[in-house]
């Protein structure tokens, strides 16, 4: 295949499939806090963390990992400042100790941290301000979770780079996602040298399978995955695909300290693109190479959709991820290009309106529902049934349908996002 496309797709996978500990929004806050303390050079006397609405809603309901059950913006910020290691990026809280947690709890009672909503700021945006005496430091993260765009100390700019514009375009150093399309994704999956993706995908399988198993073994959250497995036919691969993905979210949303490999900046999405494909590969007796190639499809189809929507919006990201896994399963089963395209169309035409009302335990149930929809979409496609152009947002080909759904998620749901946040912040 075209060398530019091959290298771009490989770079996209390498930039997207990174390790994160816990829900990525509180982790991004913790990372900003740890980095700000590092820049300040001493323990701050206070901090102010200002966040966009999408950050607020995705931190409000989840447990910060390694925090002994603490929740919220202030907890994530203070724990990052007290015990975070900024050199670990999205695994910043991996080295937190019991003493760090105790100090965080004490500081939270003393009003050490003040949090603010950044109004009229879309997407992912965090400003962490710390102070000790006359010294101050400030770290700004924008667009994606580990993307520091500005660092200042005592008012002097130490580092600055251009942020994304409203169209979501990245700087030239970022992989070019505009090259993504379903036909080339399938060609890349067919032709990619396994040595180029083996380390990435074996880590994704290992980490995401481990947290899924943890969610099945222990009573996290509302136990969506465990209940599915205990109350229904566990020999059914469709059920196992839903349950495994949901169980990983059960554990992750309730503070499980195990790391995950993310997709599109989200651990839930990373688990959702992985576990259904893994379960179907086991059922089919697929080789490791076949699983890797199917995961290439799953990951890139999900990322392809998210490039239109953006990192955070009112559009639930697990829809894109489950759609990716549906495409990956279809590829694993030997489906044609047309059948895979129809699986994508059927999925997003069905549940493309699922809203994101923040990261929380019920995300596991949304994952199960989205995976169910993707599997149904695949079965419809294999029977030559597909939703037709002109029916809702369905267009004349899969690329235009993906684009139209993405436009709805990015532009059409802006007002929805604002209203969701207002409702969530009501006292």
pTM of the model: 0.89
What backbone phi and psi angles, to 5 degrees, belong to 113?
Answer: -115, 140
pLDDT at 151: 97
- Residue 396 clears pLDDT 80, i.e. is over it: yes
Q: How confident is residue 195, by pLDDT bands cut at 50, 70 and 90?
A: very high
Q: Around Cβ 130, how many Cβ atoms within 10 Å?
A: 27
Q: How confident is residue 78, by pLDDT bands cut at 50, 70 and 90?
A: very high
| Arithmetic mean of pLDDT over the chain | 93
Q: Helix, strand, or coil here: 355? A: strand
pLDDT at 19: 93
pLDDT at 424: 83
What are the distances in angstroms from CA 202 to CA 126, 288, 305? 32, 9, 24
pLDDT tens digit sequence for 39-49:
999 999 999 99
Q: What is the architecture of the domain spanning 180-424?
A: Orthogonal Bundle (1.10)
Structure tokens at 330: 């279809």
Say which range, 256-260, 384-388, 404-408, has the weakest mean pLDDT.
256-260
Average pLDDT in the 14-34 region? Answer: 92
Confirm if 261 and 210 have CB atoms less than 8 A apart: no
- Residue 165 clears pLDDT 50, i.e. is over it: no
pLDDT at 96: 95
- From the list 381, 330, 320, 328, the residue with the least C-alpha distance to 353 is 320
Residue, of 313 and 364, whose pLDDT is higher: 364
- CA–chain centroid gap for 241, Å, is 19
Residues 6+ apart with CB under 8 A from 146: 18, 28, 31, 89, 90
Q: Where are the domains of the chain?
A: 24-160, 180-424
- Residue 409 clears pLDDT 50, i.e. is over it: yes
Confirm if 359 and 59 have CB atoms less than 8 A apart: yes
- Residue 169 clears pLDDT 50, i.e. is over it: no
d(CA 339, CA 161): 43
pLDDT tens digit sequence for 340-359:
999 999 999 999 989 999 88
d(CA 277, CA 242): 10
Q: How many alpha carbons fall within 13 Å on the CB side of residue 174?
A: 17
pLDDT tens digit sequence for 82-141:
999 999 998 999 999 999 999 999 999 999 999 999 987 867 899 999 999 999 999 999
Q: How confident is residue 173, by pLDDT bands cut at 50, 70 and 90?
A: low
In the block, residue with structure tokens 């494909």: 277
Average pLDDT in the 292-317 region? Answer: 93
Average pLDDT in the 378-393 region? Answer: 97
Q: How confident is residue 167, by pLDDT bands cut at 50, 70 and 90?
A: very low
pLDDT tens digit sequence for 253-298:
998 989 999 999 899 999 999 999 999 999 999 999 999 999 999 9
Residues 6+ apart with CB under 8 A from 51: 29, 59, 73, 115, 116, 117, 118, 125, 126, 127
- Residue 371 clears pLDDT 80, i.e. is over it: yes
Structure tokens at 403: 């684009």
Q: How confident is residue 53, by pLDDT bands cut at 50, 70 and 90?
A: confident
d(CA 15, CA 363): 24
pLDDT at 208: 98
Average pLDDT in the 243-250 region? Answer: 97
Provide the CATH number for the domain formed by 24-160 in this structure.
3.30.1330
Question: E-strand spans in 198-339?
Answer: 259-261
Average pLDDT in the 405-427 region? Answer: 87
């Amino acid at each position: 295949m075209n060398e530019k496309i091959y290298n771009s797709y490989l770079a996209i996978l390498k930039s997207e499939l990174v390790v994160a500990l816990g829900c990525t929004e509180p982790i991004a806050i913790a990372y900003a806090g740890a980095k700000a303390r590092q820049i300040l050079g001493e323990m701050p006397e206070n901090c102010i963390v200002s966040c966009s609405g999408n950050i607020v809603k995705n931190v409000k309901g989840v447990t910060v990992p390694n925090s002994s059950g603490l929740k919220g913006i202030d907890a994530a910020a203070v724990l990052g400042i007290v015990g975070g290691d900024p050199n670990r990026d999205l695994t910043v809280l991996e080295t937190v100790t019991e003493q760090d947690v105790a100090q965080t709890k004490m500081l939270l009672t003393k009003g050490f941290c003040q949090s603010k909503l950044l109004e009229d700021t879309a997407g992912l945006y965090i400003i962490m301000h710390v102070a000790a005496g006359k010294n101050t430091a400030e770290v700004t993260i924008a667009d994606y979770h580990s993307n520091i765009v500005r660092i200042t100390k005592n008012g002097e700019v130490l580092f600055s780079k251009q942020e994304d514009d409203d169209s979501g375009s990245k700087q030239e150093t970022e992989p070019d996602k505009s090259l993504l399309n379903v036909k080339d994704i399938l060609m890349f999956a067919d032709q990619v040298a396994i040595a180029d993706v083996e380390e990435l995908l074996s880590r994704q399988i290992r980490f995401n399978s481990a947290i899924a198993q943890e969610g099945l073994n222990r009573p996290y959250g509302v136990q969506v995955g465990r209940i599915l497995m205990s109350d229904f036919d566990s020999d059914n691969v469709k059920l196992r695909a839903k349950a495994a993905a949901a169980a990983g979210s059960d554990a992750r949303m309730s503070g499980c300290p195990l790391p995950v490999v993310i997709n599109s900046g989200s651990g839930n999405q990373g688990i959702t693109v992985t576990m259904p494909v893994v379960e179907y590969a086991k059922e089919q007796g697929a080789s490791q190479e076949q699983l890797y190639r199917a995961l290439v499809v799953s990951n890139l189809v999900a990322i392809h959709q998210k490039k239109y929507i953006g990192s955070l919006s009112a559009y639930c990201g697990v829809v894109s991820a489950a759609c990716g896994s549906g495409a990956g399963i279809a590829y694993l089963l030997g489906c044609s290009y047309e059948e895979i395209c129809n699986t994508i169309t059927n999925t997003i035409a069905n549940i493309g309106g699922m809203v994101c009302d923040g990261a929380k335990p019920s995300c596991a149930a949304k994952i199960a529902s989205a995976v169910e929809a993707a599997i149904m979409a695949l079965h419809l496609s294999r029977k030559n049934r597909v939703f037709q152009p002109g029916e809702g947002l369905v267009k004349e080909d899969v690329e235009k349908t993906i684009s139209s759904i993405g436009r709805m998620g990015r532009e059409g749901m802006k007002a929805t996002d604002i209203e969701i946040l207002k409702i969530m912040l009501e006292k």
